[in-house]
Structure 1
Amino acid sequence: MRFLEKLIISQGSYGVVYRALSKKTIKVVVMKHEFCGLCKSTLREIHVLKSLRRHHSIMEFKEVLVDACDGVFFFFFVMEHLDNYFKRLMDVKMLPMHPGEVKCMMKQLWEGVKFLQENGVLHRDLKPSNLLVNKNGELKICDFGLTREFEWE
């Protein structure tokens, strides 16, 4: 096993998302396991994230892990971990956000969208639950399952 611990952080009809501690790097990562294996949207997400160079406003793709048990293969899509979804912050925070916080997050979102556009990627599913935020206020775009690639003419 490559991980010291695994904790379920989200579960749905599509699969399970784990928070895991890597033995190799001693860093927390997110592992997404889809029940249907590597479906079309997951393959699209992997392709897009692998084709893009690293950017501070885009969630970092780490690797795909394959685990076999009794002839059944399990695929885990490993990504960087951030503390919160922007949607959760909006739901939990009782006081309105300070204008400086809003400006900072909007700037990061704009930079991420601009980077995607410059690289021929259209996200098509930007919403608060697809924006991750860490404790330092860094915002990153995630969930690239509905993306489309395009070329400027």
Structure 2
Amino acid sequence: MEFTHFNEDGRAHMVNVDEKNDTKRVAIAIGSIKMKKETVDLIKNGKIKKGDVLSVAQVAGIMGAKRTSDLIPMCHNIFITGADIKFEINEDEIKIQATVSTVGKTGVEMEALTAVSTSALTIYDMCKAVDKDMEIGNITLIKKTGGKSGEYIKK
């Protein structure tokens, strides 16, 4: 496998994607934040003093997707055509799913992963006054489509 993220001097550089074709690309990432059952109940009942936790986390995730290239040094600044964050509330955790799409020369895997991470961090920030034992984890890419490498689905 040829590594393309290094220049002729062996230093990191942003990969040139000029020659790649524009294709529709979609990435889906998931993650979770574990917390006390009481914290989940506070979120569900709108009792967290900082506000509507999931609404704020949803907006934060979308903003995170849009700002990924500002956070990840070699990530291309791309035009995102869509971003959505969904939550599944369980007894002692909230699962997060981010779907990000674009039409372009490079994929949106990093944007989807950043969206999940930003959503989870926002939930943590908004709930840390009542639960410092929360754990963010299991952040992973589960699907991507488009581009030269085609479709990937995590097994």
Shared topology, TM-score over 0.5?
no
Structure whose residues are more often strand by fraction: 1
User: Which has the larger Rg?
Assistant: 2
Please report the TM-score for the alignment, with normalisation by the length of structure 2: 0.26
- The one of the two structures with greater contact order (alpha-carbon pairs below 8 A, sep at least 6) is 2
